[in-house]
Amino acid sequence: MTDKTILRALRGEALPTPPVWMMRQAGRYLPEYRATRAQAGDFLSLCYNPDLAAEVTLQPIRRYGFDAAILFADILLLPQALGMDLWFETGEGPRLSTVTTPAGLAALKAAGDVHDRLAPIYETVRILSRELPRETTLIGFAGAPWTVATYMIAGRGTRDQGPAHALKSTDRATFAGIIDLLTEATIEYLSAQVDAGAEVIKLFDSWAGSLKGQDFEDFAVAPAARIIAALRARHPGLPIIAFPREAGEGYIGFARKTGADCVAIDNSVSADWAARHVQVDGCVQGNLDPRHMVTGGEALVKATRDVVRAFSGGPHIFNLGHGITPDADPENVALMVETIRRG
């Protein structure tokens, strides 16, 4: 449906009421999510169970009527599909086997060989494309190559992405090979999501902010541009959102350089700044501080209105500046949505 509000915003239309969804909107802050995850047994089992993954994707749509649903999955399923070991430590997050050498890189699967492992994810997309309300946009996603590479090189999340930066400095050829493989595999993965029914694609570069200078151009901008160009060649007109989190000044011109239809903005920059410097190139998504979903009250109402006002002169998709946190109050989410829609 071309009249879906998010698709209209992504085409560059400034709407009187911005469409709204939240990063990590299907997550631990919802009691119904926790119940479904318990049914699945563990996080990866939930990701790979199409019926349950579709269910948790649908839960926030039923509760809040968001304008978009984003596929429930994880950015590290792709390196697992490339042949890496992946598991989650309770209370500590993901763990991966590592790749730091030419031999380790050579041992990974080819980009086109990921689909068997990821077939359950595509089935989740097919279920959602049938079951979502007709007015709700279905967003597929993947992690950007730099962000995924930081986990593959370190074997876990790190505060400063130090191991990836070190490999980039000491063995740039191997590092670039990892980025190239991930870029091609991401194209394959996202294209298959579109074939299964995803209407919009989002590329999450959660650690883009730690890339500086030419490295930002080489490993955040260039891979995103390659992915977007390849997807557009296969799926003409496909809308794409890019999120180079904490890019700061790097947000300026990011849409022009990569071809993204929309740039998602984190809350380390102000909405007024982003309206002046980023929205001039098209749609902006963001950027309410996720802490308001915990604290609520009049501060939440005011901050929500401030974001809507700042971006009211152009195309805007309302979202948080990062994912909603597990300690958020579901009632605060309802208050945010009500504030946006009642003006």
8 Å CB contact between 298 and 34:
no
CA-based nearest residue to 192, from 151, 155, 142, 239: 142
Annotated active-site residue in 8, 11, 28, 291: 28
Residues forming beta bridges with residue 139, ordered by sequence position: 70, 200
Annotated active-site residue in 11, 34, 63, 74: 74
Per the annotation, the verdict on 37 as an active-site residue is yes
Q: What is the dihedral of CA 272, 70, 72, 78, to 10 degrees?
A: -80
Distance from C-alpha of 337 to C-alpha of 343, rounded to nearest angstrom: 10
Cβ count near 17 (within 10 Å): 14
Per the annotation, the verdict on 24 as an active-site residue is yes
8 Å CB contact between 139 and 261:
no
Task: Determine the length of the chain.
Answer: 343
Angstrom CA distances, 338 to 66, 117, 301, stand at: 11, 40, 9
Cβ count near 109 (within 10 Å): 15
Annotated active-site residue in 11, 34, 37, 126: 37
**Four-residue CA torsion sign, 106, 111, 112, 117:** positive
Annotated active-site residue in 151, 261, 266, 281: 151
Per the annotation, the verdict on 11 as an active-site residue is no
CATH architecture type of domain 5-342? Alpha-Beta Barrel (3.20)
Per the annotation, the verdict on 159 as an active-site residue is no
DSSP 131-194: HS-TTPEEEEEEE-HHHHHHHHHHSS--SS-HHHHHHHHH-HHHHHHHHHHHHHHHHHHHHHHH
How would you write the pLDDT of the chain (343 residues) with one tens digit per residue? Answer: 568 999 999 999 999 999 999 999 999 999 999 999 999 999 999 999 999 999 999 999 999 999 999 999 999 999 999 999 999 988 889 999 999 999 999 999 999 999 999 999 999 999 999 999 999 999 999 999 999 999 999 999 999 999 999 999 999 999 999 999 999 999 999 999 999 999 999 999 999 999 999 999 999 999 999 999 999 999 999 999 999 999 999 999 999 999 999 999 999 999 999 999 999 999 999 999 999 999 999 999 999 999 999 999 999 999 999 999 999 999 999 999 999 999 8
Domain boundaries, the chain: 5-342
Per the annotation, the verdict on 151 as an active-site residue is yes
